[in-house]
Structure 1
């Protein structure tokens, strides 16, 4: 057996076995983890059952403890009843309980008052200190963070004065704004405005209906187009008349009589221009 063990230790696997080993580890690790979690659940379940049983017995014990306290109270009352009336004995026991309750309440009140305010004061003071150093550097006075210092009182007084000044300015602005606003209209004025606005809305609605009517719009467009056409005709007639007035008398007749000569002159000029162009190209 020892030889087999020593043989396994001395054996060196090749590099080719590394991927298989990694795959095996990747496959076994999740299974092992799941089994561990399942085992932990079983253990917690068993412990939970044990705690439940223990809690049940603790509850029973508390019930009997309450009965014991009641029995002791009754015994105390009956014991005092041997030397005083029963009602007085019960009253004395109740007074003792009341004193115990008052003492406990006083201690709790003092402890609660000492814990107030329920904020991390040291942490807040440290943050304020850090912010002061960031803002002012070495010139920052840490005494302004101590409520008992004069610097703190002066800073608080300055803050209060600034707050009062801001409040007064806000009130003054509100008064000025209120003074600038016109007085509230009376009921009669409101009724008059409403009636005028209704009439205006009715006119707008009627005008909108007319504007959206296709026939009415077509008629308007036809009238506008006819008017524009008449204006164009009159403008053209006026221009022609002006041009006729500027043309010399007898010019059209002379042009009609000499159109052949003008045509020959134009042809000759064209031939001469073509010849000159060819000559210059050579």
Structure 2
């Protein structure tokens, strides 16, 4: 019966109540009010954590996109330079060997170097996955641990 009177007093704006009809003192709240407050706080926490995760993933995605774009332009220039060097190597070797043998030797060297480079790049790419929002994950784990401690 006292919970009902307390609840009515909060709704009418009696002294000591907050504007939303909430008491600052948890001891003054009924079980229903505590459950409502818990539900609101958990909902707000989930919204905040999801928003934080989305922001973190967007920031990482933007940085990756810019990095890939700049790297792509650099790789294109590098490719043109390497193609010129390949032509130079073929022409240089063709003065000492038959031109087709010179081209074959240069092609074999390029295939071996490309294979090694691709394997190293693939390994590094695998190590970078998955792109998880690490800070938000740690924050959510800390929230869950805090809630678990509160129920003990």
With the length of structure 2 as denominator, give the TM-score of the two structures: 0.46
* Structure holding more helix per residue: 1
TM-score (normalised: structure 1)? 0.27
